[in-house]
Structure 1
Amino acid sequence: MSLVSLSALSSEDVRAIWHLVEAPGVDVQGTVAWSFEGNGIRTRTTFLKAFQELNLSVIELPNLLKTGERVCDLAGYLDPFYDIYVVRESNHERIAEFAASSRRPVVNAMSSAGHPCEVLTDAYFIETVIGPIRKVRICLWGPPTNVFRSWHELADVMDFSLVHICHESFHTGTSNVIFSSSPLGTADVVITDGWPRGTEQLNNPLSVEDLNRMGQPVLLPTPPFAVGGELSVDPRRYPRFAGYEQKKLLLPVQKAVLQHLLTI
């Protein structure tokens, strides 16, 4: 089993991963193939710490999927040496194709189409700090991004509803997502993400006035966030900012993902 997109999981898988977050640490051992495109400061930090705390040995394979070699050949040659792959690669189709070819689990540490571990972490925060995710009123603010696509997938997997506020040109039919161009009543948590290049003219940054109209929900911006970009309010000046400490949960959730995939 791989975690390339959240749609690959069942609701039972998600609950099992969250349960492992709260369980005592387990020494799973094994060897990780690690390929990480770009900076990804927080994700890189917490995955490397997760490997260390789980006593996993790590071999770095820079630009693993940038080669012109067929992924079936890559997997065939490399699988005997590794127990799991953790890959950050912009080409989502390439990761998916590699995962389908490999006999080992593959973790998407971020691609152009998804950021599953980030969203599992934020959803765990909501579930454990704000309330049961099926009852919490969650609002996504801004155009579709890899983070928001993963939220859409999680809503389908766990059967809860989202409100996604964005320009009408981005409204598409998704059963568990209610699209709107402006706030629909109150919310318990609002999630933002950086705008994709070229969408700036189609979107409005989240403002204090918007937050007040929604009943001052918890503000959970996806880092790196830009004040003056997707936000016109500085989260540090907003009393219900989820806070920097919230992202510490990346470490235990990523550890739980690795444990789940290595032990099922």
Structure 2
Amino acid sequence: MRHLITLEDVSSAEIERIYAITEDLKTKFQAGIREPLLPGRMMALLFEKQSLRTRVSFEACMTHLGGGSILLGEDAGFGKRESIADFTRVLSEMVDVIVVRSKKHSTVEEVAKYSKAAVVNGLTDESHPCQALADLYTLREHFGSLKGLKLAWVGDGNNVAVSLARGCAKVGMSMSVCAPEGYQLPKSFVDKLKQQVPGADITLTDDTTEAVAGADAIYTDVWTSMGQEAERDQRLKDFANYQVNGKLMAAAPKTAVFMHCLPAKRGEEVTDEVMDSPQSIIVPQAGNRMHVQKGILVWLLGSQA
């Protein structure tokens, strides 16, 4: 049984396979065709956190593919009425795939341990693989190819940054991660990634201008994520010089695009000027969540038909 918990779970060739499926299905979607490749398949959405893009994109894509979905929130009693093992064993008797959006990464790992169904990480505190795959696919669409592109991440070295670093290494992109001291990607993570993917080009810096020099895409995220609200005041101070604004975008090539996984705190990590500029590709980036997740579901479930 294959799962998608982090991008360590997929090879470069498998990413290309997912993208080939995505491109085929997106082309058909734009022509008004919803190809039902997964008829009768059931997906459970097991969410501990709020969601717009992840929930709607997964529900929509499974419907387009001919399957169905069930949202399981507080009412299901996950992690409260019974053990995760018991909950998962029973749930996976009834569904084909479980998408888990959890507060702790260990939760999705435990679900995968006991599940007979494919498990997909819909977001944890450590990883957001579906977001990263959609982001890189968006750049592939925009530039025609990924190999040799540079992504500049400006902000907290969070779960999305971790997943993008893994993804960039596997598709032949370089990545510059710019964050203040205490918020950078752990050096141990970067060293391990370079061992796992020879040739991985990941650099760490605290200089925003250095980070965006030569960048094809500039990416940021909120400075205070869900669950970090108590740190908000300190984070606002620590990240005050890391805003993506017109001045920073001007330090990058004119062809550079702006990306954000959303939701954004306009006026904090990014200005309206950048969010709404012609360089911003945040809307197609969000829309590609649905298309890439179709590719993921067909890749995971199609061979198990």
TM-score (norm 1): 0.91
How large is the RMSD of aligned CA atoms in angstroms? 2.0
The one of 128, 132, 152 aligned to 1:115? 128
* Aligned residue runs from structure 1 range 5-84, under 5 A: 5-24=6-25, 25-29=35-39, 30-63=41-74, 65-67=78-80, 69-84=82-97
Aligned residues: 264
In structure 2, the partner of 1:230 is: 269
User: How far has the Cα of 1:99 moved from its partner?
Assistant: 0.6
In structure 1, the partner of 2:245 is: 207
Unaligned ranges ≥5, structure 1: none
User: How far has the Cα of 1:12 moved from its partner?
Assistant: 1.5
Q: Which moved more, 1:66-75 or 1:50-59?
A: 66-75
- Counterpart contact for 2:36–2:66, Cα < 8 Å: no
Q: Distance in 2 between matches of 1:112 and 1:52?
A: 28
The one of 178, 182, 193 aligned to 2:221? 193
User: How far has the Cα of 1:41 moved from its partner?
Assistant: 1.2
2:156 corresponds to 1:143: yes
Matched AA of 1:18:
Y
2:186 corresponds to 1:172: yes
Query: Structure 1, residues 64-107: CA drift from partner, whole Å, max 9, x if none?
Result: 64336333322322222111111211221111111122121101
> How high is the sequence identity, in percent, across the aligned residues?
23
Query: Structure 1, residues 140-198: CA drift from partner, whole Å, max 9, x if none?
Result: 11011221111122134335321011113325321342011113222111011111343
Matched AA of 2:53:
R
- Counterpart contact for 1:6–1:150, Cα < 8 Å: yes
* Aligned residue runs from structure 1 range 220-259, under 5 A: 220-259=259-298
Q: Which moved more, 1:90-99 or 1:169-178?
A: 169-178
SS of 1:55's equivalent in the other structure is coil
Q: Distance in 2 between matches of 1:234 and 1:54?
A: 38
Structure 1 moving runs of 4+ over 6 Å: none
Matched AA of 1:117:
C
Q: Distance in 2 between matches of 1:4 and 1:118?
A: 12
Q: Which moved more, 1:50-59 or 1:232-241?
A: 232-241
User: How far has the Cα of 1:134 moved from its partner?
Assistant: 2.3
